[in-house]
A = this chain, B = another copy of it.
Amino acid sequence: MPLDHTAQGVFPIAPTPFLPDGAIDWPSAERLFAFYASIGADGLTVLGIMGEAPKLEPQESLALLKLAVKYMAGKPIIVGVSAPGFAAMRSLAREAMEAGAAGVMIAPPNTLRTDDQIVGYYAQAIEAIGTDIPVVVQDYPLITSVVMTPGVIRRIVTDNPSVIMLKAEDWPGLEKISTIRTWQAEGTLRPLSIMVANGGLFLDFELERGADGSNTGYAFPEMLIDVVRLAKAGQRDAAHDLFDAHLPLLRYEQQPGVGLAVRKYVMMRRGILGSDAQRKPGAGLSATAKAEVEYLLKRLARFDKRAVM
């Protein structure tokens, strides 16, 4: 399915399942992608930071992508192709598209400073990969140290027709979404899908500000799907009730550096992954942290049956 500015819903960020010895756990990968398809995910992002992409061999990345394409049966798959050089970015992007991806995501390198540098970088990256590939711009200053004003995003979108989605994870980010939506209402900016992330910490209000959906990786993606559905149906209180019930765990999972370990642990406890292993180098959870997650799951289970283990 082609990816364009009408994209909406929930595109989970898929982790990469590993065996304790560091090899890819292919049965878990099949189970994982089948799970995403079964809950009605509208798409998927693979090979992002949370997918431990930099630890994968090229052939592993490609095989994982192809498996996702197969299981998601026509739903669009986005592939992270951020790379220090445009040669590698081009190879990754072209190979991904040939393997069935619907688009690529590019984060700015943390050496960029001025507005012109950021705008110039996207122009060069898109020239390198080719203007025929749909591009997701990742705006995540907490991790990239690159701050994009709404004006810079407008310049990138205006200059590059192949940019069709903003992965919005600035923090704070609510006013940025409102500004972009205002410009679009005024007709000074063309349509653009806005999918929010940053661990989902503000999904509730981001949807009300005009986000089209979520592109993040919480261990209960069904909640993200339900919240998006409820918000779009105008059931504001119900959306917040469900979101708030998950917020204590979601906040715990959003911790930088630790989050992936929490996510994999919970997905293992849910029976989706066979192990919570990360490929080296990667930190696991301490015994205390695991007990804290278990406590959060038990508390969550009072409100959401899916957390009953």
A305 lies within 8 A of chain B by Cβ: no
Stretch at the interface among A66-74, A85-93, A223-231: A85-93
> What residue of chain B has the Cβ atom nearest to residue A173's Cβ?
B255
B54/A88 in contact, CB under 8 A: yes
Q: A87-B56, A124-B281 are in contact. Are A172 and B255 (CB under 8 A)?
A: yes
A201/B110 in contact, CB under 8 A: no
Q: A87-B57, A149-B114, A244-B247 are in contact. Are A255 and B205 (CB under 8 A)?
A: no
A115 lies within 8 A of chain B by Cβ: yes
> What residue of chain B has the Cβ atom nearest to residue A245's Cβ?
B244
A65 lies within 8 A of chain B by Cβ: no
Q: Please pick, from B53, B152, B204, B248, the residue contacting A114 in the complex, using a CB distance under 8 A.
A: B152
- Taken residue by residue from 271 to 309, chain A's Cβ proximity to chain B (1 for < 8 Å, 0 otherwise) reads as 000000000110000101100100000010000000000
- Taken residue by residue from 221 to 262, chain A's Cβ proximity to chain B (1 for < 8 Å, 0 otherwise) reads as 000000000000000000010011001100110011110000
Chain A interface residue count, Cβ-Cβ cutoff 8 angstroms? 59
> What residue of chain B has the Cβ atom nearest to residue A257's Cβ?
B172
Interfacial chain B residues near A91, Cβ < 8 Å: 57-58
Q: Please pick, from B178, B281, B299, the residue contacting A240 in the complex, using a CB distance under 8 A.
A: B299
Interfacial chain B residues near A5, Cβ < 8 Å: none
Q: A171-B255, A172-B257 are in contact. Are A111 and B114 (CB under 8 A)?
A: no
A154 lies within 8 A of chain B by Cβ: no
> What residue of chain B has the Cβ atom nearest to residue A299's Cβ?
B240
A110/B111 in contact, CB under 8 A: yes
Docked Cα-Cα span, A104 to B102, in Å, equals 37
A251/B248 in contact, CB under 8 A: no
Interfacial chain B residues near A113, Cβ < 8 Å: 113, 146-147
Docked Cα-Cα span, A111 to B208, in Å, equals 31
- Taken residue by residue from 45 to 76, chain A's Cβ proximity to chain B (1 for < 8 Å, 0 otherwise) reads as 00000000111111000000000000000000
Q: Please pick, from B54, B171, B204, B243, the residue contacting A86 in the complex, using a CB distance under 8 A.
A: B54
A151 lies within 8 A of chain B by Cβ: yes
Docked Cα-Cα span, A117 to B53, in Å, equals 20
Interfacial chain B residues near A251, Cβ < 8 Å: 201-202, 247, 251
Chain A positions within 8 Å of B, measured between CB atoms, are 53-58, 83-88, 91, 110-111, 113-117, 120, 124, 127-128, 146-149, 151-152, 171-172, 174-175, 178, 201-202, 204-205, 208-209, 240, 243-244, 247-248, 251-252, 255-258, 280-281, 286, 288-289, 292, 299
For the complex with contacts A114-B148, A172-B258, A174-B292, 19 further pairs of A-B residues with Cβ separation under 8 Å are: A54-B87, A57-B87, A58-B91, A86-B280, A114-B152, A115-B149, A116-B149, A116-B151, A120-B281, A124-B281, A127-B280, A171-B255, A172-B257, A174-B289, A178-B288, A204-B248, A205-B292, A208-B292, A244-B244
